[in-house]
Amino acid sequence: MSKRALSAGRQLSRSAAAVLAASALAWLAGPPPLSAAAAPTESPGTLPPEAETGWVMRTLHRMTLEEKVGQLFTTRVYGETADTTDPASVQMNRSFLGVDNAAQAVARYHLGGFVYFAYAGNTNSPQQVAGLSNGIQQVAVAQPSGVPLLLSTDQEQGAVVRLGPPATQFPGNMALGAGRSVDDAGTAARITGQELRAVGINQDLAPVADVNVNPANPVIGVRSFGEDPSIAADMVAAQVTNYQAAGVAATVKHFPGHGDTAVDSHSGLPVIAHSRAELDRIDLPPFRAAIARGADAIMTAHIVVPALDPSGDPATLSHPILTGLLRQELGYDGVVVTDSLGMAGVRQKYGDARVPVLALRAGVDILVNPPVMQVAYDAVREAVRNGELTEQRIDESVTRILRLKWRRGVVAAPFVDPAAVSRTVGTPDHLAVAQAISDRTTTLLRTDAALPIPAGHRILVTGWDDPAAPTTTQALGAALGRHGVTPDVLSTGANPTAARIDAAVAAARQHDTTVVLTNRATGDAGQQRLVKAVAAARVPLVVIAVRDPYDVTMFPDVPAYLATYAFNGVAMDSLAGVLTGAIPPAGRLPVAIPDPGRPGAALFPFGAGLSTF
C-alpha cells in the first residue's frame, strides 16, 4: 500500500471515530467509542447487561422498516475500497447489487454486513483489508441508524482461506484432528481471530462442525476435524471460545451437519439419510458443544434431512429444523446465518424472491449473498407489508444481530489502525506457533526403505500442483533444501496429460527417490495414472496426499504413503521435516480409509499412523 493510501486510512479512522462519537451521544447511554488504535485483539463491549439492552432497544425503536430489513442481509461486494471506481468491480457490483460499490450498497440497502472474498479483490493485503473495513464502517456509522457492520470472511484455515500470507496460515481442521490436540485447535482460532480483528474483520465463518463420515464427500473433507464426533465437538468448542475471546464472532457450520453426503450443495441438493438416532450420535454433538460455549452464530446447510423434516425443504428453509430443533430443542438463541443463497442447493425448489422469505419464516436471522440483492430485499419488505412476515418477527432477528454486534465489540470499536496491522498480523511469534502446530499433524501410514531420505540422495518432487500458480511442489522442494536435501522439481499440474506423465516417469528413473504429491486423486484419472506409471517403473516411490487422505484407495499398493491434509507452506515445511527424519510423524488418522477391495473394511483404520520409519 502506498504512503498516501496509508495516510488516508489513518485519516479515515480518525474521522470515522468522530462520527461514531457523535452517534454515541445520540444513543445517550450507549458506550463511549474506542480510538481507531484500540487493541484489536481485545473484545470490548463488556459493559453491564443493562447497557447492552438499553442500546439495542433504543436502536431498534428508532429504526425504520427499511433499515431493519437491511440489517438482515450480508452480501459480497467487489473492490479494494469502500468507494471503489475501477471498471471491473463496478460492473460486477451493478450486476447483482445495482450499485457501484460498498458505500452505495450500505446507503441503498442499510446493510447489516459484508462478506469478503479474495476473488472479489477484498483481501489483497492486510493493510488494504484494514482500509476497506474502515471505509465501510465509516459509511455505516454515518447512516441515520448509526449501526456498524458485521464484516466477515471464510478464514477456516487449511484448504479454505481468504486472507493469505503474510497473514498466519494454519494447516486446517482435519490436520488439527490428526494432531489430536484441543489446545492446538484453540490456539489456531485465537491467532486467526486476533489477526482478523486487526484488519477489521469481526466475524469468521468458522469453525466447520461437520463430521466427515463419507469419504466421497466433495465439499467438506479436510474442512472437517474428522469422523469422530467427540473430537470434533471438543475442537469446535475450543475454537468458538478462542475466536470470540479475540473479538471475532464464531459462526459454526453447517447445521444440522453436512458430513455424510456425496453431493456438493453448491451445485446440487444433498439428502442426508441419517436417522434421528444417527444425527444425535454423529452430527449434532459438535453443535451442542458450540451452543454450550455460547457460539455467536450458527450457519445453516442447504441439505435435505428427511428424519427431521419430510417436506423435502433444505434445512435453510425448514421450520422444523431451525425453529423446532435448533431453537426449541437445543435452546439456541444466537444468530442463525444462511449459507450463500446463490448456491444451487437452496434455489432448486423455490425462486429467488421466495427463498429469503421462507428462510426468515424458518428461523433464520441473517441472509447471506442473495443472487440479486434488490429482489431479495424487496421480497422481505413486501412480505412484511402483506402480512406474511410480521414486523415483530423482523424485530426478533434484528435484536439478535444488534446484540451480537454489541457483545463482540463492533459497536464500541468498529475501526482499526492500519498502521498497527503489522504488529499483529503474521508476526514471527504467530508464524512459529503455526509451524509448531503443523509439525504435530503429518501422518505416516506406510513406509519402506525410501524413508527417511538420506542426505546426498537424488530426489525428484513431482505431481499435483495448481496449474495457475504451481507453488506446492516448489514449496516442498524449497523446504527439503532447508533440511539439507536439494531435489529436482517437476510439476505435473492438476490433471496430468500423457506427455507430462511420460516426462515424470523418465525423470524418476534418473533419481534415487521420487516423491509424488496428490490432491483428491480419487476423482482425477490423470493423477491416478501418474502414480501407477511411476510405481510401474519400479523406482523408490513416496506418495503424499496433500488434501483428503483417501487418495491411497486408488493405488493401495504404493510402498510409502503420507497424509498432510493441507498444501500450504506450513504443511510443506512439516512434510519436509518428516521426509528427512528431522521431525517425527506424530499425526494419526482422524478418519478411516476404506479398503477398495473389501467393502466395509478399512485399508487404514481410524487412529492409524506410524510414529517411526
Which residues are designated catalytic? 266, 339
Strand locations in 77-202, DSSP E? Answer: 113-116, 150-153
Torsion angle defined by CA atoms of residues 69, 75, 79 and 80, in that order, rounded to the nearest 10 degrees: 90
CA–CA gap between residue 304 and residue 273 (Å, rounded): 9
CA–CA gap between residue 575 and residue 102 (Å, rounded): 42
Burial annotation 18-44 (CB, 10 A radius, 16+ → b, else e): ebbeebbeeeeebbebbebbbbbbbbb
CA–CA gap between residue 540 and residue 282 (Å, rounded): 41
CA–CA gap between residue 579 and residue 454 (Å, rounded): 9
CA–CA gap between residue 113 and residue 180 (Å, rounded): 35
Helix axes 391-407, 49-62, angle to 10 degrees: 140
CA distances from 545 to 18, 194, 551, 571 (A): 52, 30, 6, 11
Alpha carbon 517 to chain centroid, angstroms: 24
Alpha carbon 186 to chain centroid, angstroms: 15
CA–CA gap between residue 342 and residue 363 (Å, rounded): 19
DSSP state of 383: H
Strand locations in 166-311, DSSP E? Answer: 203-204, 249-255, 297-300
H helices of 207-284, where? 229-245, 276-278
Ramachandran assignment for 172, one of left (phi > 0), alpha (psi -120 to 50 degrees), beta (any other): left
CA–CA gap between residue 204 and residue 115 (Å, rounded): 9
Strand locations in 66-224, DSSP E? Answer: 73-75, 113-116, 150-153, 203-204
* Radius of gyration, CA atoms only, the chain: 25
Q: How many CB atoms lie within 10 A of CB 2?
A: 8
Alpha carbon 229 to chain centroid, angstroms: 19
Q: Three-state DSSP class for 345?
A: helix
Task: Fill in the amino acid letter for 442.
Answer: T
CA–CA gap between residue 454 and residue 134 (Å, rounded): 52
Q: How many CB atoms lie within 10 A of CB 352?
A: 16
